[in-house]
Amino acid sequence: MRVIIEKDYDLMSKRAAKIISAQIREKPDSVLGLVSGSTPIGTYKELIRMHIEEGLDFSRVTTFNLDEYYPIPSTHPQSYHYYMQKEFFKHININPDHIHIPNGLVKDIEAFCRWYEEAIKKAGGIDLQLLGIGRDGHIGFNEPGSSLGSRTRIKTIDAATIKDNARFFKKKEGIPKFAITMGVGTIMDAKCCLLLASGSDKSKVLTKAIEGPITAQVTASILQMHKDLLVIADEKASRDLKNKEYYQHIEKLTRELKTLIIDEKGSR
């Protein structure tokens, strides 16, 4: 696990976008796992800028989104289909056929979830999975108590999450109580996981997730077991980390090592 602490949300977003762009430049046909919500918006904006100003090419990229509300049409302003088009996809040159987001109106949910898992496998697996963290430590809609080996399925949304989401819906009765989500096991299959955390309201849960015990009550905590986990947090989100100074020390030395390697290659 590598933990990077940036001064603010903007720098966190730019750092995340730099890592994602490096993945795409190294492997143009990368398979990306994407997430919605407020946290990744800055990252998507920076990737859009890179596409427009630096020629970052998404034409061969394939994407799989973590989740979608159920039941909800893709045209609903609060659906994740709508969000992804508005915040990201319509601004880049991605092939629409390469975009995968759970169907919020599918009739046979179990069959669809099996298909989603198979589609990820057929694509070669997810190279880089972008993640946010909920106030209760969930990733995707894998709420507290979710199986740490779970696969894509329909989940009941926790009451606290429903309350958090209420501000986005005009009518209380219209707030979704269910979602189709990648499972924890599905997320853990990704070759690399990139977890973003911003704001003081995420500080305590981030500490539980990366420094506390691994538990189904904080599903993000399973990421401690991932072979290639990168956490990027801003100062506010990292304020409760017990090992904050250690992470900063390691990151400083990591940058020094990269410089030494580059200098050595250049001198040959």
Residues serving a catalytic function are: 67, 136, 138, 143
The DSSP call for residue 150 is -
Query: CA of 54: how far to CAs of 21, 98, 157, in Å?
Result: 10, 22, 40
How many other CB atoms sit within 10 Å of the CB of residue 29? 13
Sort 85 into a burial class: Cβ within 10 Å, 0-12 / 13-18 / 19+: middle
Q: What is the number of alpha carbons within 13 Å of residue 216 lying toward its C-beta?
A: 8
Cα angle vertex 193, ends 144, 148, to 5°?
30
As a residue count, the chain comes to 268
Tokens coding 162: 């429903």
